[in-house]
Amino acid sequence: MKRVALLGMPNTGKSTLFNRMTGGSARVGNWPGITVELLSGKILLGADMVEIIDLPGIYDLHGFSDDEQVVRHFLHDNVPNLALVILNATQIERQMSLLLQLKQLNINIVVLLNMSDEAKKYGISIDSKKMAELLSIPIYQISGKYGTGYHEALQAITKALRYPTPGMAEQVRSQLEQDEHIETEMARVLKHAVQIPARLPENLTEKLDSVMLHPWLGLPIFFGIMYLLFQGIFLLGQPLQVGVAELLSWFRETALVPALSNLPSMVQGLLLDGIYNGVATVAAFVPIIVLFFLLMAIVEDSGYLSRAAFLMDALMAKMGLDGRGFVMLLMGFGCNVPALMGTRVMRSRAMRLLTMLVIPFSLCSARLQVFVFITAALFTAQAAPLVLFSLYLLSFASAILTALLFKSQFKNSEPFVLELPPYRFPTARQMALRGWQEVTHFLRRASQFIIAGVVLVWLLTNLPASAAPASSETFAGIIGTWLHPLFAPIGINEQLTIALLFGFVAKEIVIGSLAVIYGLSGTALGGALAQQLDWVQAYSFMLFTLLYTPCLSAIATLKSESKNTGYTLFAIVWSLALAWLVSFVFYQGARALGY
């Protein structure tokens, strides 16, 4: 099978083009460092099945960051049949150097000048035919976002794959000679093929940045935008969640219960009260998760997250981090795992380790399910969005506290460099891909962790057979009673304790396990929790869920990225200790004040 490698600097639209080519679900974001894995997809080009590989974005082929080493090793060990080099046409004078470095490797190359539509708006004129003639490389102008020039580029790629791969050059000039050659070649090409205005015209990016990056107003505006985002998630998503929950409840009573009525009661209980109740309760949150990622896609792909990193850099520097660490925290809102992997863009190992230590405190979408359910059940419609927003603020506060406490153990001197891309609005196709990606991710997790988790919870709450279901005589009751002295000081009862134990595997299981423990789902489960818990207990439970050990996937990623078992154990113990301490201070303080 022939192999095509996508290469380019960060923020050139490689992942967008990868999605367009393969119909895959590579994560697309409008800020540097989003691609951190070797994503691949297969497409048919001509008569050949071709594997497309999306390599991490790099600035320099001779750099020392993890991503640059990944690309360098890949090109050395897996010489592709074709290198598809993506350049940002709006920054052509900066991006040519990487292309000329790759050209010296003596491999087949096709160049795509992406964002050509934006370049025209900025008054940048590129003669791609003249540039192709000067470099002896096929060059095409495209818009990966809108698809302009895409089919012509595919034809060029198909044609280029007919020729044999020359292979990596065995002998390369010294670095000094190479740099001098590249500078000379770049100046020649830019002089004859590119026209750039002396100053780019006044545009929307500059006007918006005068407000968004204001030294005093920038941060309040950012947190205001995030607050409105969470308000939208709750106000739009909560009715959808209730509607889906009611539909699933109706399906249970009208279809499943009659269909399973002839089965033994034990089997009925497992299928209805165990598997169906648990999975259905979690599945009801699919609309909220899709909505969350659609709104976050707008924020990410608009280019605003890079501005947030810039605004927060000064504060993050005092904690031993930088603006990229803040971006990774925001990325963790979706899922902690890709955020942890995203730290590969950092050259300093000390900064990587400190950043990975704080990322698990990000309120991920799995925790969001738990919090939306509980806030809707125990708080008013006016208070619920404020409660949700307070948890996001506390996730930031926990990350900041952790960084301040441990920055002396992870000292760093790496400078912070981050480009600010122009503002963009994602297309409907990009947003649809993001929503589909998250739904499929949820379904994969449902087929792995969630079903296994709720079945195990049902068995623990129904065995031994001589015990009454969900009573203190069951295995779950025995475990809850044994752990009660540890959790009683923070207001968490035996049932919630069992749910937290299964949350170690995946946070999505927490609500599913509560549905199994109480034998209820949807609004009925919410009503039962509201009768058993007051708001202080509920908020303490949410605090602990927010801060305690991340899911198994995140722990495995911590281990693989840090390559240090001791560090991974330390991260687990610290998150558990902080979760218990924060919940204890809140719960006991609230009770002392008479709540």
pLDDT at 13: 85
pLDDT at 506: 81
pLDDT at 307: 84
Residue 143 DSSP one-character state: B
pLDDT at 146: 83
Within the chain, which residue ranges are assigned CATH 3.40.50.300?
A: 2-195
For residues 297 and 331, give the distance between their C-alpha atoms in angstroms, rounded to a whole number. Answer: 11
pLDDT at 82: 93
What angle is formed at CA 254 by the lines to CA 250 and CA 256, rounded to 5 degrees? 100
The per-type count for the chain, helices as H runs and strands as E runs, is: 28, 8
Tokens for 18, please give them: 């990868």
- pLDDT tens for residues 455-507? 888 898 888 988 888 788 899 889 989 999 999 999 999 999 999 988 888 88
Closest CA to 326 of 334, 315, 341, 335: 315
Tokens for 452, please give them: 């296994």
Q: 2-195 has which CATH code?
A: 3.40.50.300
Task: Please say whether the beta carbons of 513 and 499 come within 8 A.
Answer: yes
pLDDT at 417: 62
Distances in Å between the alpha carbon of 392 and those of 33, 213, 519?
A: 24, 22, 30
pLDDT at 414: 63
For residues 390 and 384, give the distance between their C-alpha atoms in angstroms, rounded to a whole number. Answer: 10
What angle is formed at CA 543 by the lines to CA 310 and CA 408, rounded to 5 degrees? 50
For residues 379 and 373, give the distance between their C-alpha atoms in angstroms, rounded to a whole number. Answer: 10
Tokens for 154, please give them: 């595919």
157-183 as b/e, with b when 16 or more CB fall inside 10 Å? Answer: bbebbeeebeeeeeeeeeeeebeeebe
For residues 422 and 412, give the distance between their C-alpha atoms in angstroms, rounded to a whole number. Answer: 30
User: To which residue do tokens 């659609």 refer?
Assistant: 294
- Furthest-apart CA pair in the chain: how many Å? 87
pLDDT at 171: 44
Closest CA to 511 of 338, 365, 399: 365
| Bridge partners, residue 148, by sequence | 143
Q: Which residues of the chain have pLDDT under 50?
A: 25-36, 169-173, 175-176
What are the backbone dihedrals phi and psi of residue 30, each rounded to the nearest 5 degrees, phi first?
-95, 55
